[in-house]
A and B are shown apart, each in its own frame.
Chain A
Amino acid sequence: MSDFLLEAVHITKTFGEFAANDDVTLRLKPGEIHALLGENGAGKSTLVKMMYGALQPSDGELRWRGKPVRIANPAAARALGVGMVFQHFSLFEALTVAENVALALPDATDMAALATRIEQVSRGYGLPLQPHALVADLSVGQRQRIEIVRCLLQEPSLLIMDEPTAVLTPQEADQLFVTLRRLAAEGCAILYISHRLEEVKALCQAATVLRRGKVVAVVDPRRETAASLARHMVGVDVADVSTRMVQALGEAILTLDHVSLPADGPFGTALRDVSLEVAGGEIVAIAGVAGNGQSELFDAVSGERLEGVGGSITIAGHGCAARGIKARRALGAAFVPEERLGHGAVPDFPLSHNVILTRFAVDDGMVQRGLVNLGLAGDVAGRVAGAFDVRTAHSDPEARSLSGGNLQKFVIGRELDRRPRLLVVNQPTWGVDAGAAAVIRQALIDLARSGSAVLVISQDLDEIFAIADRIAVISRGELSDSRPTGDLDREAIGLLMAGAHERGASERAAS
């Protein structure tokens, strides 16, 4: 009998050329709360999905209580004793708590008995739930309890939690920690994924840190500082910081003054009091862990969301409170959203029609007396494809048939072709191969050097250090002051990402 409950030994998982996990080893002891740390895209979800049977490793093996196992699917994982609470819940709002739980159980169940058990278990672990309440009426925290109780009813020996506190208030989070400690004391192992380093320090006895698919450290977080953990996460091999000459800057082209925006749905993050200025000639980058308000910031700046925006947004000297995205484009602004397919481009449309999407209101002759000039759109599509080396199987293919990198070059090229005075781009090289990424970064730098203002929202610190003149960090919807790239290192940014600049962060850490 081994000391370990679950071991992932030399696990490799490749998707095509890309190794999401590369020789990863992680060992979990019974009764241990073990943190899995890493930036977005570091390979945490891939690893966890293999432990839960949703993916199969390409190489390496999983061992359960010392014996090799193949976890064929999530049902097999549950039978083994692995429970998982996902970040995004899978609950039916129109059903009651008990009905939702019953749906997850393998066999037909006596509803009355189940309701009693739910009440007992949930009260026993300090997660009180009313079995007959409608899920639609419950808060996010209560919904998470359902997911947890659903797992607990199957008496798991390992509980995997994916960023459980991301959606909780501090008070709800505290209550969750009590429950988790109690579970651990009963011998249940907990694999805890989080970006909140203070939380990990307070809760976990061990931490495995992933970076770019590899294990870079296995540490005892109680002996570490938030700063040292952050350093492990983002890496100490700091790329040489950009020292390119910044010419005299032009006037501010984009000004955000105390901008706020309510969250868009339960998994969104509200923007709070965001102020920022981007001048002609510079690239300002906004770093941060995903889901900290980046998409809300993009929506507010682009004008895709107008309702509920507080504070003021000024583009090229014009207040934009009442101006939608079309009017902002007319002021010389251009936008590239994070999601290429379905947001930045219509998947079913050929590239020429996708040119019209962002340019019908700003190009002379694209639309004449209500009629679309398809010939001109085709010319522009050809020009963009030529200038940015967009490789296509035949002329004017549908957007969906392009590879991620090629489509991203097209979507960015479509805007750059306009020579915009302001470019706002969210995740310019997300999921793009290295060659295309280099082309895109060079194009952004060239645009800024030609006198335009560029705002880049990115989760890739390498990218940010490579191209940005100034960096600000967004965390839980709050934006830090921006500082010149040369004054910052990864450690400082890592701390800011973990929320060191937030108002109230200090009180929370103290409590």
Chain B
Amino acid sequence: MRLVLERRAERSRLMTWLSPVLAVALTLLAGAVIFSLMGLDPAHALYVYFLEPVLWWWSLEELVVKAAPLVLIGVGLAVCFRANVWNIGAEGQLTMGALFGSALPILWHEFQSFPVMVLMLMMGALGGALYAAIPAYLRTRFGTNEILTSLMLVYVAQLIADWFIRGPWRDPQGFNFPKSVQFEGWQLLPTFGDGRMHLGAGLALVAVVVLYVLMSRTLKGFEVRVVGTAPRAGTFAGFSSKRMVWFCLLLSGGLAGLAGICEVAGPSGHLQPAISPGYGFTAIIVAFLGRLNPAGVLVAGVMLGISYLGGEAAQIDLGISDKTAQVFQGILLFFILACDTLILYRIRLLRSQTAYGDAGR
């Protein structure tokens, strides 16, 4: 008796949607095991972690604040990954977007009328896109692996940002804290509700709708999907894989940059060394959990937002490290990728070893 993976004739539509549900369930199960190994009551811990964050109005608002950048970055990455372009450096592009977007309010603090917000958002997107252009150029010109270059550039971006914030852009009246001047007027994004939800959430929704239409209805979306699943067929159709690399990296970099400036001009209101709690990396999980589908990314962004809030809640209520959030995110990605196998394969129990003569063909 043994288990074998057997290839399905067609991709299973059911499993496409069931796989993330299964992955979430398995993650909860694994979480319960980890909590009980740590000597906590698993039921209570899971309640604090995953349910409490959605039970209060203020925490729902906070959820939107956390989910907005995840969704904004996640939709860009979903397009990228669909095209088999592996931008792992959204965190760096986010940092660069924050830096570019902050240039105006820091260098020209008196410019506080409405146009400054539009310019800041544009600069943010531009900064992210330009930073993503580096791996795009290296990949198309020298065949460099964009996974490595985009990832390594994250740390470069963070060091550059750190230098600006501790050096030339430090607030002269800031008692030597590593932070920039406080943004004022239209240099801050308009807010909603109790004051933490900001325009970034609206931008994320717009991005979801636009990219959903792009992927499902346009020739460009068709091109992304062809080049991603069958590059040879893409060449045959007449699509350029190099232009696709540029398109994907500029798009996802731009959206990550936009998320970056939204973080600075939204919740923080000034530039500081910790711009994001790893949104750029978590968005990778968001993209996969959302089936690389913009609409799915919206749902997945909310779920991963919960894991951030839960991590904070668990730190306070249960006294465990906030790194548990990352553990959960990692476990979730692991289970999604594992469960995705079931889309194209089914598990079968074989009673005995059959003749394997034809297996080698």
Contacts and interface: CB of A to CB of B under 8 A. Distances in A.
Contact of A56 (B11, B222, B226, B356): B356
A344 B233 contact: yes
Contacts of A335: 236
A346 B226 contact: yes
Given A342-B233, A372-B219, A326 B238 contact: yes
Contact of B11 (A15, A370, A372, A398): A398
A324 interface: yes
Contacts of B221: 372
A367 B219 contact: yes
A343 B219 CA distance: 19
Given A54-B360, A357-B226, A372 B218 contact: yes
Q: For the side of the interface on B, what is the size category?
A: 20 to 34
Contacts, number: 83
B38 interface: no
Contacts of B232: 339, 342-343
A170 to B, nearest CB: 32
A261 interface: no
Interface in A312-352: 324-326, 329, 335, 337, 339, 342-349
Nearest to B356: A56
Given A304-B236, A357-B236, A372 B9 contact: no
Contact of A55 (B218, B222, B233, B361): B361
A346 B229 contact: yes
B235 interface: yes
Interface in A389-433: 397-398, 400-401
A349 B233 CA distance: 11
B222 A360 contact: yes
B358 interface: yes
B237 A360 contact: yes
Q: Which of B9, B217, B221, B237 has the most CB atoms of chain A within a 10 A radius of its CB?
A: B237
Contacts of A349: 225-226, 229
Interface string B16-58: 0000000000000000000000000000000000000000000
A401 B236 CA distance: 21
A95 interface: no
Interface string B210-252: 0000000111111001100110110111100000000000000
B10 A357 contact: no
A139 interface: no
Contacts of B9: 398, 400-401
Contacts of A208: none
A482 B358 CA distance: 41
Contact of A398 (B10, B356, B361): B10
A362 to B, nearest CB: 10
Contacts of B11: 348, 398
Contacts of B222: 353, 356, 360, 372
B218 A347 contact: no
A397 B10 contact: yes
B357 interface: yes
Contact of A344 (B236, B356, B358): B236
A55 B361 CA distance: 8
Contacts of A372: 217-219, 221-222
B355 interface: yes
A3 to B, nearest CB: 29
Contacts of B360: 49, 54-55
A1 interface: no
B217 A325 contact: no
A72 to B, nearest CB: 9
Contacts of A343: 230, 232-233, 236
B230 A361 contact: no
Contact of B229 (A337, A344, A348, A370): A348
B350 to A, nearest CB: 18
Contacts of B235: 304, 325
A358 B236 contact: yes
Contacts of B220: 370
Nearest to A74: B360
Contacts of A325: 235-238
Contact of B236 (A54, A57, A337, A371): A337
A276 B243 CA distance: 33
A54 B358 CA distance: 9
A243 interface: no
Interface in A117-147: none
Given A343-B232, A346-B226, A370-B220, A15 B10 contact: no
A329 B238 CA distance: 10
Given A58-B357, A348-B11, A400-B9, A342 B230 contact: yes
Interface string B197-219: 00000000000000000000111
B197 to A, nearest CB: 33
B217 A371 contact: yes
A324 B238 contact: yes
A400 B217 contact: no
Given A357-B236, A357-B237, A372-B218, A347 B230 contact: yes
Nearest to B237: A357
B355 A56 contact: yes
Interface in A269-327: 302, 304, 324-326
Contacts of A348: 11, 229-230
B236 A360 contact: no
Nearest to B355: A56
A443 to B, nearest CB: 20
Nearest to B227: A346
B219 to A, nearest CB: 5
A60 to B, nearest CB: 13
Nearest to B233: A346
A357 B226 CA distance: 8
Interface string B92-127: 000000000000000000000000000000000000
A304 B237 CA distance: 9
Contacts of B237: 325-326, 357-358, 360
Given A335-B236, A344-B233, A15 B218 contact: no
A396 B3 CA distance: 32
Contacts of B218: 370-372
Nearest to A46: B361
B67 to A, nearest CB: 30
Interface in A197-248: none
Contact of A357 (B233, B357, B358): B233
A440 to B, nearest CB: 19
Contacts of A358: 236-237
A59 to B, nearest CB: 11
Given A358-B237, A371-B217, A347 B229 contact: yes
Interface of B: 9-11, 217-222, 225-226, 229-230, 232-233, 235-238, 355-358, 360-361
Given A346-B229, A371-B218, 17 more contacts: A15-B361, A55-B358, A302-B236, A304-B236, A326-B237, A346-B225, A349-B225, A349-B229, A356-B219, A360-B222, A361-B238, A370-B218, A371-B217, A371-B219, A372-B219, A398-B11, A400-B10
14 contacts: A49-B360, A57-B357, A325-B235, A342-B230, A343-B232, A343-B233, A347-B230, A349-B225, A358-B236, A360-B222, A360-B237, A361-B238, A371-B218, A398-B10
The 10 closest A-B pairs by CB, nearest first: A326-B238, A56-B357, A401-B9, A346-B230, A343-B232, A325-B238, A398-B10, A401-B10, A357-B237, A54-B360
